[in-house]
Amino acid sequence: MAFVNVRNLTYAYPLTKQPALQDINLQIEEGEFVALIGANGAGKSTLCYALAGFVPHFFKGELQGEVEADGKLSSQSTLSEWTLNVGLTFQNPFNQISGAKYTVFEEIAFGLENIGVPREEIKVRVEEALALTDIRELARRSPYSLSGGQQQRVALTSILVMRPKLLVLDEPTSQMDPVGAKEVFSAVRKLAQEGMTVVMAEHKTEWIARFADRVVALKEGRILMQGAPREVLTSDLLFENGFGVSRYTSAAREARRRGLWTKKSLPVSLDEAAEGFGAIR
Amino acid sequence: MNIEIKSLHFAYPDGTEALKGISLTIASGEQIAIVGQNGAGKTTLARHLNGLLKPSGGTVFVGDWETTQHPVAKLAARVGYVFQNPDEQLFSRDVLTEVSFGPRNLGYAKEKVDALAQRALALTELSEKTEVNPYDLSPTWRKMVALASIIAMDTPIVVFDEPTTGQDAANVARIARVVAELKREGKTVIAITHDIDFCAENFERVVALSRGQILLDGATRDVLGQEAVLAQTYVEPPQLTRLGKRLGLKETVVNQEELLQALKK
């Protein structure tokens, strides 16, 4: 059975009429890396909140359907029980930093302290997590002295250190430099291979195509389409609905319109684009 | 109105040296993007332009004003600054009040305030949303309100801190139209960005920072073509520039049209 089961999920925030999510059905296998794409307001963050239990435990409002992970229903768990298995990073890292700690090291240790992990183990796990996201040199800095992208890495690390079974990331690389963003995708890919289930809302389609197992495209609170990254990201349906895709895909689409691109499929990566455009030269 | 930065040094209270001797002249009407790795000093540099930060060493001139000699409130008449997170910036009960606040605060007469607000609202496609509370808008549109409220101040220089972060394709295109219009009006536009494709398609000059110093400064095409140097500051050339290089094109291409034209040759 799938590790995550979202069944007939419809949800509206308090005092709103239009549901933010409508009739979402989604199954995710253990160790799968699923990317959520869609325009702003399509429901990506809300779906992240629902998977992480913040909907409905923190954001009230009207919920139908259910979210199940690791055989448990979110509606029948408390938020603190749920978050032992499920970790969420917020879109804005500033919302996540505790404000209670003076250094990055302490900030990352905070969650483990809260659940009573022994001191020696905390030290080891924090060191491991700092190495995983390559921020060892920030360990002694104040979280508030960091740039946006660095704070984003700290926020991600403070969740990874908890070793969640399901990792939910809401645009985790939005403020990162390009190489840093790619490294996060690559690190997440590795975690998924080791068995962590990952859902990531993102716009960076070049790295989604390379690292994710599946893409779920949301539009106006509904799933528009889902499938293998290549199939979704090169589809006419996505194009017609104004989704952003990589420059490789859109340049090839335009070349095809002008009769230059002769290959049957459109490219999602530099290698494929080089091969297809190389044939034109 | 030129910006003249000479040997700018800045250290944060915790001792972190964020800027280590930046010298930079930005001419009136230039469109310039500042790129570089996280922690390179991009935001720190930009915050010196409107006096939010004052140099630990060196000088920053905005026109004939040295920033240490003028309060932020006064510099605001010359340099508009759009924050990365709109929620750090918005506080009014409706969009029109928010967008009118800046020009009113600069002491302009009511007619001029209204005209500037309407122009900014039209440019950001917010004309239909003037009565809405900014916090009832989606984050996307809040971002546009933040843009509009700065554009309404009609400053000769506008600074955007990460304008496209978290924005979808439609809104990135909207923001690009705003930049193009400001350019047409002769304004200086300075953007800090990690979105290298956006940078390539909308800016004529690029400054790459690395660890508080200038690594590269020049025409967009020249800077973005230098893959090995950019890698030092964790920046990759735009997708189509990388593709052009891979295809062995002689010239550096930075957008779709250039790529397709070069392939025809």
* DSSP strand pairing (B57-62 vs B3-11): antiparallel
Question: Identity (one letter) of the amino acid at B23?
Answer: S
Chain B residues with CB-CB distance to A42 below 8 A? 168
DSSP secondary structure letters along B217-248: EEEHHHHHT-HHHHHTTT----HHHHHHHHTT
Are B98 and B91 in contact by the 8 Å Cβ rule? The answer is yes
**Angle ∠(B82,B84,B85) on CA atoms, nearest 5:** 105
pLDDT at residue A41 is higher than 90: no
Sequence-separated (6 or more) residues with CB below 8 Å from residue A253 = A239, A261, A266
Q: What confidence category does residue A160 fall into, taking pLDDT thresholds of 50, 70 and 90?
A: very high
pLDDT, tens digit (0-9, with 9 covering 90-100), for B189-242: 999 999 999 999 999 999 999 999 999 999 999 999 999 999 999 999 999 999
CA distance A66 to A241: 28
| ipTM (interface pTM) | 0.85
The rounded percent of chain A whose pLDDT value lies above 90 is: 78
- The verdict on residue B146 lying in a domain is no
> Can you tell me which residue has the tokens 């992480």?
A52
pLDDT score at A161: 94
Q: What is the DSSP letter of A70?
A: T
pLDDT at residue A249 is higher than 80: yes
pLDDT score at A91: 80
Instruction: Please give the residue range of the domain that contains residue B194.
Output: 3-78+155-264
Tell me how close the Cα of A222 comes to any Cα of chain B, in angstroms. Answer: 17
Domains of chain A: 4-245 (3.40.50.300), 246-281 (no CATH)
- The verdict on residue B162 lying in a domain is yes
Mutate to test the interface with B, among A13, A15, A17, A40 (most CBs of B within 10 A): A40
- The verdict on residue B113 lying in a domain is no
Of the given ranges (A33-42, A164-173, B129-138, B238-247), which has the lowest mean pLDDT?
A: B129-138
Q: What confidence category does residue A188 fall into, taking pLDDT thresholds of 50, 70 and 90?
A: very high
How many CB contacts within 8 angstroms connect chain A with chain B?
A: 125
Tell me how close the Cα of B176 comes to any Cα of chain A, in angstroms. Answer: 15
- The verdict on residue B104 lying in a domain is no
Question: Identity (one letter) of the amino acid at B100?
Answer: S
Q: How many domains does chain B have?
A: 1
Judge whether B162 is closer than 8 Å to chain A, CB to CB: yes
CA distance A136 to B254: 35
- The verdict on residue B57 lying in a domain is yes
The rounded percent of chain A whose pLDDT value lies above 70 is: 100
Question: Identity (one letter) of the amino acid at B146?
Answer: A
Q: What is the DSSP letter of B36?
A: E
- Per the DSSP assignment, residues forming a β-bridge with A201 are A36, A170
- Is the bond into A178 cis (omega within 30 degrees of 0)? no
* DSSP strand pairing (A86-89 vs B3-11): unpaired
pLDDT at residue A281 is higher than 90: no
Q: What confidence category does residue A92 fall into, taking pLDDT thresholds of 50, 70 and 90?
A: confident
DSSP secondary structure letters along A183-245: HHHHHHHHHHHTT-EEEEE---HHHHHHH-SEEEEEETTEEEEEE-HHHHHT-HHHHHTT---
CB-based contact A145 B197, cutoff 8 Å = no
Question: Identity (one letter) of the amino acid at A148?
Answer: G
Chain centroid to CA A164: how far? Answer: 14
Kindly tell me the sign of the dihedral angle through the C-alpha atoms of A127, A130, A134, A137. Answer: negative
Ranges of residues in chain B with a pLDDT under 70 are none
- CA-CA distances (angstroms) from residue B159 to A27, A124, A251, B48? 44, 43, 30, 11
CA distance B75 to B61: 11
Are B35 and B209 in contact by the 8 Å Cβ rule? The answer is yes
Chain B residues with CB-CB distance to A94 below 8 A? 85
Q: What confidence category does residue A223 fall into, taking pLDDT thresholds of 50, 70 and 90?
A: very high
- CA-CA distances (angstroms) from residue B105 to A118, B48, B77, B109, B182? 55, 21, 10, 10, 21
* Mean pLDDT computed over every residue of chain A: 92
CA distance B195 to A73: 39
* Closest residue in chain B to residue A269, using alpha carbons only: B239
Comparing CA positions, the residue from A247, A253, A206 lying closest to residue B243 is A247
CA distance A130 to A134: 6
Judge whether B250 is closer than 8 Å to chain A, CB to CB: no
> Can you tell me which residue has the tokens 């290698």?
A271
Burial of A246 (0-12, 13-18, 19+ CB in 10 A): buried
Interface of B with A in 31-50 (CB under 8 A): 36-40, 42-43
- CA-CA distances (angstroms) from residue B86 to A63, A125, B142, B151, B187? 29, 35, 6, 14, 22
User: Residue B93 in 3-state DSSP?
Assistant: coil
Sequence-separated (6 or more) residues with CB below 8 Å from residue A249 = A205, A233, A234, A266, A267, A268
pLDDT score at A180: 87
- The verdict on residue B192 lying in a domain is yes
Can you give the CATH number for the domain in which B170 is found? Answer: 3.40.50.300
pLDDT score at B26: 98
Chain B residues with CB-CB distance to A134 below 8 A? none
Are A174 and B84 in contact by the 8 Å Cβ rule? The answer is no
Are A208 and A202 in contact by the 8 Å Cβ rule? The answer is yes
| Range A188-209 average pLDDT | 95
